[in-house]
Structure formats: structure tokens, C-alpha cells
Amino acid sequence: MSFVVEKLMGGKKGLTGFIILATLILVIFPVFLDSFRLNLVGKYLTYAFAAVSLVLLWGYGGILSLGQGIFFGLGGYGMAMFLKLEASSPENTTIQSTPGIPDFMDWNQITELPWFWVPFSSFTFTILAILVLPALFAYIIGAAMFKRRVGGVYFAIITQVIAVILTVLIVGQQGLTGGINGITDLRTLNGWDITSDNAKNIFYFVNCFLLLGVIVVSHYILNSKFGRILLAVQDKEDRVRFSGYDVANFKIFAFCFAAMISAIGGAMFTLQVGFMSPSFVGIVPSIEMVIFAAVGGRMSLIGAVYGTLLINFGKTIFSESFPELWLFLIGGLFITVVMLFPNGLAGLWNNHGHRITNRLRFMSKRYSKVAPLAVPRKLDDASE
Amino acid sequence: MDAYTSSELVSIFAMQGFAGVSLFSVLLLMALGLAIIFGQMGVINMAHGEFMAVGAYTTYFMATLTETYLPTLMPYYFVFAIVVAFFVSGALGYIAEFALIRHLYKRPLDTLLATWGLSLIMQQSFRSLFGAREVSPSLPDWLLGSYQPTDTIDIPLNGMFVLALTAAVTAAVYYLMYRSAWGLCVRATTQNRLMSGAVGINTKKIDRYTFALGCGIAGIAGAAFTTIASTGPTTGTLYIVDTFMVVVFGGAASLFGTIASAFSIAQAQSILEFFISGSMAKVYTLLALVLILMFKPEGLFASKIRR
């Protein structure tokens, strides 16, 4: 039991936070939200994967990746390719000039399935590809950059450029990728209709369990020696290097793991929403993912989930009623968070939340002096 | 290639070459401001594209104003518009530095995020003020049309104008940064802030004016762009990555590096565009840049500044 509490949940407080989050997404949302809204929350939760990955990578590792959209997109496209191939079986596509290939290929006068599409007709391969390919891609980028000690700002800019390259490639190669519209009209998963409300609800719960699982694994990793070294690298990279650690390898691992988490989110996005398009790959979604993590608290895995939910709820509500205000609000919020609350919602809770809990304890007559549970890290020194 | 006669080939070569030179001047003009802000100050200004858009919208505003009230001055307004664009963008940059950037100098990655927030706010301001549709000012006659040295060669005048403007701005930046007392203060502050302060340089003031200068140059770039393309609320985001690539590839804090990198990127892209589609040309160019930067992270011309 103590293993579970200490290593997997990040202490008693982490356990409480985890249980509250699990109750919220597994019980409260399904009970109080209608099917449409629940599906929407499901979509937001898929973004939360990327936000959680950024907490690990940016909050703890100090590596700001502006390219999590790349991996989100790779995962999403992997799943979408499988579903699209299933949707374009020869029986379904008899009206095309070449039956058996996705409709957008037929529109672009492609007569044969491109080679990189072929293995995605296997479900096992697709699942493996979703988990392995983004991590492999991240390994190549990470190894090339971190081994040469490229970091910080340059890493951020280069990941951003890679996101642009991928977007331009997807949009430009319409015949191979579906272009700007993305891969749409996905119907079944191994013969099971994924467009029904029932299927969407099931995906919602799969999504929740995967997200909670990812948080548990991330907690474990961050509480291990690896996590402490990662944090040390962020604070004083040279000292860690002088102590005999190969800093690059730690960074590469963090980047690969973050890529894998984001890719799971992307794959779940395709299942939950039913399509994938380049607008979830480029710069804007990638930076939005950073916003989620920043607002939730860059040092808090659970905070990242709340940040994602809050921003997306806000986006939905505001773009329904005051679309012109939304960008002002999100821009302003972002500046405020970065300048005044660098630890986001989680930081606010750690600084002021104990007053609330103290009062609760006082009311239940078990009042005891409670020290602040976590001291927000001073960010001013982190850059050098 | 058999279909072309030799004179046609010369014409194609000349025009294609000029297209590359034209792209070069555009990239360089965009990157000059950022080379100062990012290269000298180390601030990742994601709102740089929006400062360009401010310049473009200022030009549009001036054009509309002149057209309505002083139609006789139409041929001359553009020159004034460039100057006004410089000062409007510069003033906004001054305010942004004062309100935002100066609190974040020790947290470069956070500047990136804060300026992204700023860029969102600016985009929405453009949309509220000028509408979501793309606009373009009515240009004076001397910017329209083209110069035809022979029957088959067609060199657009607006491209030549941007080229000349870029040359002038580059020369001005060179003088200001490397030949003036003020530039010496800027470079001293970059190299050693504490010592600069100790010898009596007001480093905070230098920061503010350097940032304002970078934004002002972005404004000039924006004004020049109105001769080539129309301006929309999200125009800035289209350019920001290219601009950063030029500066990073050239090696931060090196004016010559910025020029060389803008030139090589522009030539690579326009030559590739002749053979393959525009989007693939861009993919290959960016890919080559990323690969080169992986092997040579400090860029073409490394700065001598300690990081």
C-alpha cells in the first residue's frame, strides 16, 4: 500500500488529488452531462494527454517542446489510417474508379495504396505503430539535438519548425494524406460502429482510464531516481553532467516518453471525434497544449488535466457566445499566468489551498498545524 | 527543355533569379528586426509577425486616409506610411517591453509564451479594428507594373522597390548597431550587462529602445509587404516561423549571418520551386535547415558571445 501511495500517487496529497480527479471524470461528468457534452469532455481529455506529457517534459525536464502536436498528430493519423482503410474496403467503395483505396486517393487519381499505408490494415501493427513510431521519431530528433547540447530556445524553435514541416507536408500531399480536410468519414473499428453515442461513451471511459494510467506511470517515473535527475538537470545541467550522468540520455528518454503519451492522446482523439486533420498538428495546437500545461501548473500532472478542461470549456463557452472576446481573454490569461502565477492553478492551490483544507479540518475538530505541502519552485534561476 | 529557345531560357533564368532575390529581400527585411530582438537581446518574440502586421495595417490606414482626404498626395503617401509604420510599431514595441518583456528577461522560455499571448491579443485587435477580411492599400502608380528590359523579361517594380528598401534598412541597421555610439552600448549590454551598467550605460533604457527598434523594423517590413501581398489578422503567424529560421540559421547576433542565411534560404526555395510544387519546396528547404542545424546548432556564423 505504501508503494502505491508514495510512488504511484506522489504522497498522500497526490492520492487525494488523484481520487478527486478520478471521481470527477469517471462519476460526476458521466452522471451530470448529456451525451454530446460528455463526448466534448472526452475530446478535451485527449488534449490532456499532451498537456500531461508537457508537465513531464517542460515542467520537470525544462525542455520546452513546441512540437507536441507532431506526436499527437502521428498518433491520431496512425489510428485514422487504420479506420480509413477499414471504411474503404472494396465492398464499400465500389463506385470509385479504384475500389479498396480511401476516397481522397481516388479523387487525386491515385490507383494503388501507397506503401506506408499498407501495414496500417493490421490492427496490431497500428497499435504498435501508435506507441512506437512517435517515440522513435522523438528519439531521432532528441538524439540529434541533445547529444549536441542544443537546448532551451533552440530546441523550442526547431520542434516548432518540424511541426510546420509536417503540416505543410500533410496539406501538400493531398492524395496521400487527405490534405487540409484530413482523414474523415471513419465508421467502424474492427466491425464495431464507432459513430454511435454508445461507442462514444465507451471511448470516453477508455480515455479516462488511459489518462489516469498515464498519470500514475508518470508519477512513478517522476518519483524515481530518474525524475530527481531530470529536475536536477533543469536546475543545474552542468553539475549533473560533472557528477557523471549522461544528461542527454535523460532528456532523450523524457522526450520519447512524452511523445508516446501525446500519441496515445492523438489516437484516442481520432476514436472519440471520428476524424483527424492537420489543424491538430501545427504550431497553434502545439502551443495551445503548452498553454493547457501552463495554466494547470507546469509542475503538476493532475493540474495539467484541470488546465486543459478549464481552457477548453472556456473556449467552447466563449466561442459560442462572445467569439470576439475569446482571443483577448486567452491571450490575457496566458500573459497573466506566465507573469504572475508561473505555477498555474496547482501553484495557487499549493499556496492558498491549505487555508481551505485547514478550515475543513478545524470544522471536523482534527485541526493540526499544516505546513504548506509544496513550495513553489523559484523559476528565475531555471534558465541558466 | 527542348521547347525553349536560348533567349527564352535567359529570360526564365533572369526572372526566376529575380524571384529568388525578391524572396531574399522579403526574408531579410522580416528577419532584421528579429535579429536585433532575438539575436542581440535573446528575447523570443512570438509576436514579431504581429508587429509586422501593425506596420501593414498602418500603411492601409494611411492609404485610406489619403485617398479620402488628400487624393492629390496619393503618389507620395507610401513613403510617409513607411515612416509612420516604423514609429507606430516601435511605440507599441516600447510599450510591450515596458509592460511585459522586461519582467521576463531571466526566463527566456516564458517570454516565448507571454509574447504568444500578446500575439493572440494583437490578432484579435486587428480583427476587431479592421475586420476579418484581408485588406490591401491602393498603391501609388509608380509601384505598379513592371520593368521590361527585353520583350520576354518582366521584372515587377514592387519587387525592386522592396529590394531597394531592404538594402537601405540593412545599411541603416548596420550603421546603427556597429558604427554608432548607441550600437556600442547595445552590444556591450548584450555581452556583459553588469559591466555595462558599471561603466554607466543605462541598460534598462538600452533594452527598451533596442526592442522598440526591432519592432519598428518589423513595422517597415509590414509596410513593404503591402506591396506584395494582402494583410489579414493572422498574416503575422504565417511569417513567424520563416523569420525565426532565418535568424537561427544565420547564427544569432550576426548581421552578416542573417543576410547570408536569408540569401541561401531564398535561393534554395525559389530554385526548388521551379522543379517541384511550392509546398514541397518549402518542406525540403525547412528540412534541410533543420538537418544542418542539428549538425551545426550555432548556425552559419557563430556568435562569439558566451551562452
Give the C-alpha separation, B102 to B163, whole Å.
34
Report pLDDT digits (tens) over B58-87.
999 988 888 888 887 777 888 889 999 999
pLDDT along chain B (307 residues), means of 10: 68 76 85 86 88 92 87 81 93 93 84 89 90 82 74 77 90 91 88 88 90 93 86 84 86 80 86 80 88 78 54
Check B114 against A64: CB less than 8 A apart.
Answer: no
- On chain A, the residues whose CB falls within 8 A of the CB of B116 are 287, 334
Check B114 against A338: CB less than 8 A apart.
Answer: yes
Give the C-alpha separation, B19 to A123, whole Å.
48
Angstroms from A216 CA to nearest CA on chain B: 28
Q: Which of A64, A158, A332 sits opposite B109 (nearest CB)?
A: A64
Check B117 against A331: CB less than 8 A apart.
Answer: yes
- On chain A, the residues whose CB falls within 8 A of the CB of B117 are 330-335, 338
pLDDT band at A10 (very low <50, low <70, confident <90, very high): low
Give the C-alpha separation, A219 to B143, whole Å.
62
The structure's pTM equals: 0.86
Give the C-alpha separation, B213 to B91, whole Å.
9
Which has more confidence, A192 or A81? A81
Q: A363 Cβ partners below 8 Å, 6+ apart? A: none
Element (H, E) at A298: none
Report pLDDT digits (tens) over A15-32.
888 888 888 988 888 888
Angstroms from A307 CA to nearest CA on chain B: 15
Q: What is the mean pLDDT of the segment spanning A86-96?
A: 80
Check A150 against B294: CB less than 8 A apart.
Answer: yes
Give the C-alpha separation, A224 to B103, whole Å.
34
Which has more confidence, A381 or A360? A360
Residue A295 pLDDT > 70: yes
Q: What is the mean pLDDT of the segment spanning A262-290?
A: 91
Check B109 against A156: CB less than 8 A apart.
Answer: yes
**Residues in A 286-345 with any Cβ partner in B closer than 8 A:** 287, 290-291, 294, 324, 326-328, 330-335, 338-339, 342
Q: Which of A161, A284, A331 sits opposite B121 (nearest CB)?
A: A331
Check A284 against B113: CB less than 8 A apart.
Answer: no
Query: Rounded mean pLDDT of chain A?
Result: 85
Which has more confidence, B296 or A199? A199
What pLDDT is attached to residue B302? Answer: 64
Residue A129 pLDDT > 60: yes
**Residues in A 62-101 with any Cβ partner in B closer than 8 A:** 64, 66
Crossing angle of helices B235-250 and B255-275, rounded to 10°: 120
Grid cell of A109 as nine digits:
487519381
Instruction: Of B303, B47, B36, B32, give the one whose Cα is nearest residue B182.
Output: B36
Q: Cα-flanking dihedrals φ and ψ of residue A281, to 5°?
A: -110, -35
Q: Number of CB pairs < 8 Å for A and B?
A: 124
Among chain A residues, CA nearest to B124: A327
Alpha helices in A178-282 (DSSP H): 197-223, 225-235, 237-242, 247-273
Q: Which of B124, B244, B280 sits opposite A172 (nearest CB)?
A: B280
**Which DSSP string corresponds to B194-239?**
HHHHHTT--HHHHHHHHHHHHHHHHHHHHHHHTTTS-B-TTHHHHH
The DSSP output letter for A57 is I
Q: Is A165 on the interface with B (CB under 8 A)?
A: yes
What pLDDT is attached to residue A383? Answer: 40
Query: Which of the listed ranges A103-107, A174-178, B55-59, B143-147 does the model predict with the highest average pLDDT?
Result: B55-59
Q: Which of B106, B280, B286 sits opposite A380 (nearest CB)?
A: B106
What pLDDT is attached to residue B177? Answer: 87
Alpha helices in A147-224 (DSSP H): 152-172, 174-177, 197-223
What pLDDT is attached to residue A370? Answer: 47
* pLDDT above 70 coverage of chain A, percent: 90
Report pLDDT digits (tens) over A132-160.
999 999 999 999 888 888 777 888 888 98
What pLDDT is attached to residue A369? Answer: 47
